[in-house]
């Protein structure tokens, strides 16, 4: 693959994925019965590897879903008793609010892309707080300090967090919330079609108290199954296998976090040097570490020219498309690919 792919999802997959797919075929993983001891062993081992590499606390449970999106409905149907309170500044957070609103009572508070989450009071009529840790559409993140403050302001609320484009790239302090979810085609560097959730003891307790059982993906069904290293439907076993193999050889989240921070520093230096290109997010405290959104005059022309140089840049998302483009800073991207991109940008905007 000569093309350097910087699309923030689906994104560049780890280079050893083809090798692992071949291995999975040879070992019969693709036809594995999901209730077999072999599959349960695979699931159990994968959860253990994730715990170790992503530093997930021992008391938290891990379960697989089909996508990140699926969690929007699971949270609304199985975890929300009174209502969910949504903070958002971009398309993914807004869509989540929209889905929740169809299923339960929901309130959305939109905030500016250069601001921290607002101090807006979450009333007693809401028991769930929803936020997007890394908003892929705008290239913003919620700082760890703000997350910590939210946790201490609302110790009794269930805090649910979309980490789709940061899990596997940024070090996350899981103690700061109750329900974290992601899918694998962003920071985890795998083909799409698998999601996961990471749950605190409080979230599990709440799920059992509510005991909502009207859906195939009711949270208590999911929890009962994952405790036996199973799923309530036939899961993407190949995806789980690829997650197992790629995470097993990962240097761990601290090393990855450091590598991505160094890369961010180089991108900052580059963008500061150049004319005609700047960060959409001027407030560095809320600028994403894993998805960079840049402003320029004609992003469509820039992306076309990059493509001729075998570089794929991400388009801006939604309303931002005419003025911005995006660069994924995901761990599967190679240093030499970044060099190639930087050389291209340097020539273009010198």
Instruction: Catalog residues that contact ligand PLP under the rule CB under 6 A.
Output: 9, 67-69, 92, 132, 136, 162, 164-165, 183, 186, 195
Q: Which two tokens stand for residue 122?
A: 């979450």
Q: How far is the CB of 178 from ligand PLP (least distance, A)?
A: 18
Which lies closer to ligand PLP via its Cβ, residue 195 or residue 299? Answer: 195
Q: How far is the CB of 170 from ligand PLP (least distance, A)?
A: 13
Q: How far is the CB of 232 from ligand PLP (least distance, A)?
A: 18
Q: How far is the CB of 194 from ligand PLP (least distance, A)?
A: 8
Q: How far is the CB of 146 from ligand PLP (least distance, A)?
A: 17
Which lies closer to ligand PLP via its Cβ, residue 229 or residue 288? Answer: 288
Residues 6+ apart with CB under 8 A from 155: none
Nearest to residue 147, comparing CAs of 125, 168, 135, 129?
Answer: 129
Q: How far is the CB of 21 from ligand PLP (least distance, A)?
A: 20
Dihedral angle at the C-alpha atoms of 144, 148, 150, 155, nearest 10 degrees? 150
Which lies closer to ligand PLP via its Cβ, residue 165 or residue 229? Answer: 165
Which lies closer to ligand PLP via its Cβ, residue 14 or residue 330? Answer: 330
Which lies closer to ligand PLP via its Cβ, residue 178 or residue 340? Answer: 178
Q: Which residue do the tokens 């190639």 mark?
A: 340
Which lies closer to ligand PLP via its Cβ, residue 164 or residue 329? Answer: 164
**Would you say how long the chain is, in residues?**
350
């Amino acid at each position: 693959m000569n093309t350097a792919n910087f699309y923030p999802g689906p994104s560049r997959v780890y280079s050893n994925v083809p090798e692992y797919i071949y291995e999975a075929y040879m070992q019969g993983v693709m036809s594995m019965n999901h209730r077999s001891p072999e599959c349960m062993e695979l699931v159990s081992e994968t959860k253990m590897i994730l715990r170790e590499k992503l530093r997930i606390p021992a008391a938290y449970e891990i379960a697989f879903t089909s996508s990140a999106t699926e969690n929007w409905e699971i949270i609304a149907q199985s975890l929300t008793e009174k209502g969910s309170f949504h903070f958002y500044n971009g398309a993914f957070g807004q869509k989540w609010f929209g889905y929740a609103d169809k299923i339960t009572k929901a309130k959305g508070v939109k905030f500016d892309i250069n601001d921290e989450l607002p101090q807006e009071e979450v009333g007693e009529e809401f028991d769930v707080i929803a936020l997007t840790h890394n908003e892929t559409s705008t290239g913003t993140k919620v700082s760890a300090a703000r997350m910590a403050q939210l946790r201490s302001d609302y110790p009794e609320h269930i805090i649910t967090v979309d980490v789709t484009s940061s899990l596997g790239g940024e070090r996350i302090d899981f103690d700061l919330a109750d329900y974290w979810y992601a899918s694998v085609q962003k920071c985890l560097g795998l083909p799409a079609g698998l999601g996961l959730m990471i749950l605190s003891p409080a979230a599990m307790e709440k799920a059992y108290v509510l005991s909502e059982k009207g859906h195939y993906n009711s949270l208590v069904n999911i929890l009962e199954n994952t405790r036996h290293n199973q799923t309530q439907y036939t899961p993407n076993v190949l995806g789980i296998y690829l997650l197992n193999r790629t995470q097993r050889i990962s240097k761990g989240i601290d090393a990855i976090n450091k590598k991505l921070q160094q890369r961010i520093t180089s991108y900052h230096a580059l963008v500061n040097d150049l004319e005609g290109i700047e960060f959409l997010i001027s407030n560095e405290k809320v600028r994403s570490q894993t998805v960079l959104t840049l402003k320029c005059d004609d992003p469509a022309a820039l992306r076309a020219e990059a493509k001729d140089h075998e570089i794929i840049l991400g388009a801006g998302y939604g309303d931002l498309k005419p003025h911005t483009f995006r660069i994924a800073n995901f761990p599967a991207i190679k240093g030499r690919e970044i060099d190639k991109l930087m050389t291209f940008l340097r020539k273009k905007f010198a």
